[in-house]
Copies of this chain bind each other. A is one copy, B any other.
């Protein structure tokens, strides 16, 4: 940004730009204002990565409006999260999206090819955690990562997890997804030498308190290298995993 401001100042100094134009440029908003949303159009991020719309709590009309604004700004890949099948059907009438039902994700455009440091492992404690896992996995794939899915490897049958030790040991980043007691993150964190992103899920009943039990468990993990995102936040985990898996690109 410094250079941009400096350029403007130099242009003003040289008389190539009027004071008012300079003021305008410095003040120009890096987003499009469509009243109910301020759509980022100059967002910081690596080239070729999709824009993201958080679909929950938005009407189909609002989503279409935001997509159009993004497309007008030249965005070619757009990922829409928390999109129910019903609302995806409505969107399909206006925009050309591919819909991943289990992940509740709509995607517009082509995903970049997988080019990260290594593979991202997405592991779940049980079968019921799969929708959250798919949100994470599809997100990571749409952001250019190769994903290995290890579902239903919860700690109550530790041999199921152990039989996949090699995938876990060789992963670049691991997303550990579990409800109930959420112990999966600790056990994986103890086995692996890679960052572990723990996702508590609202799977369970009674004293799982809608994911609170798994959340606390994961925050208290005594394994190093484990961090936690919000309950059921598969997208956040997939996005962060992709960011870490592309670290070398930046350096």
Q: Chain A residues in contact with chain B, CB under 8 A?
A: 1-2, 5-6, 9-10, 12-13, 15, 18-19, 22-23, 26-27, 29-31, 35-38, 40, 43-46, 52, 54, 56-58, 62, 117-118, 125-128, 130, 151-160, 163, 165-166, 169, 172, 179-183, 186-187, 189-195, 197, 200, 202-233, 236-237, 239-240, 243-245, 247-248, 250-251
Are the C-beta atoms of A5 and B23 separated by less than 8 Å?
Answer: yes
Are the C-beta atoms of A26 and B40 separated by less than 8 Å?
Answer: no
In the bound complex, what is the Cα–Cα distance between A118 and B166 (angstroms)?
A: 29
Number of copies: 8
In the bound complex, what is the Cα–Cα distance between A10 and B186 (angstroms)?
A: 34
A127 contact from B18, B58, B251, Cβ within 8 A: B58
Known contacts: A207-B215, A207-B220. The answer to whether A158 contacts B181 by CB under 8 A is no
Please give, as numbers and ranges, the residues of chain B lying within 8 Å of A154 by CB-CB distance.
Answer: 222
Are the C-beta atoms of B157 and A195 separated by less than 8 Å?
Answer: no
Closest Cβ of chain B to A69, distance in Å, is 12
In the bound complex, what is the Cα–Cα distance between A5 and B125 (angstroms)?
A: 28
